[in-house]
Amino acid sequence: MIAVMHYLRQVNAVLAAPVLVIAILVLQAPIGGSSTPRCQWLRTQLYTSRLPPIIGQNDDAADNEVSTDELEKYVSVYKAMQRNRSLTVDQAATAQGLTIQQFRQLENRVERDDAALQQARDELQAAAQGSPTPSKSP
């Protein structure tokens, strides 16, 4: 501990603060291989701080949420293609007022939204079986 204090006096304290925290936690760790929750927390922090950020991670989740209207357009495109097998995606999307690029962007957003994806699957499965669309219960 004396060596750490000597180090702190010679180096900028802001840069040395993490070293001090690690030294204190290491000195408090029990001997014999078992670890305390603090040591486990420190180990987790050390490993996760080195990980690169997830590529494409978007913290603004509101941009990825699919509105009810958008989901209905998405489902309507697929329902139209179910009814008429000769219909292309471009034709079905155009009938809903979407370009193929807008539809593909919407499709990607639906695929990232688990709840919207499940609802779309349920509606399309019900339409394929000829049964009424399951309604949501509040």
- Decide if pLDDT at 2 tops 90: no
In degrees, rounded to 5, the angle at the alpha carbon of residue 51 between the alpha carbons of residues 50 and 56 is: 145
33 located within any domain: yes
Least confident segment among 61-65, 105-109, 121-125: 61-65
Asked if residue 42 and residue 69 are part of one domain, the reply reads: no
119 located within any domain: yes
Segment 92-108 shows an average pLDDT of 96
- Decide if pLDDT at 135 tops 60: no
Asked if residue 80 and residue 124 are part of one domain, the reply reads: yes
Asked if residue 72 and residue 121 are part of one domain, the reply reads: yes
134 located within any domain: no
43 located within any domain: yes
Whole-Å CA distances, 68 to 22, 30, 73, 123: 50, 55, 9, 13
- Write down the pTM of the prediction: 0.51
- Decide if pLDDT at 92 tops 70: yes
Asked if residue 24 and residue 75 are part of one domain, the reply reads: no
18 located within any domain: yes
Q: What is the pLDDT of residue 98?
A: 96
2 vs 100, residue with greater confidence: 100
22 located within any domain: yes
Residues spanned by the domain of 73:
65-129
Total domain count, the chain: 2
Asked if residue 120 and residue 75 are part of one domain, the reply reads: yes
Asked if residue 121 and residue 94 are part of one domain, the reply reads: yes
Asked if residue 42 and residue 18 are part of one domain, the reply reads: yes
11 located within any domain: yes
pLDDT in tens, 15-57: 556 655 565 655 555 555 555 665 565 556 555 555 555 555 5
Residues in Cβ contact with 110 at an 8 Å cutoff, skipping those fewer than 6 apart: 66, 70, 71, 74, 116, 117, 120
Residue type, 124: L
104 vs 45, residue with greater confidence: 104
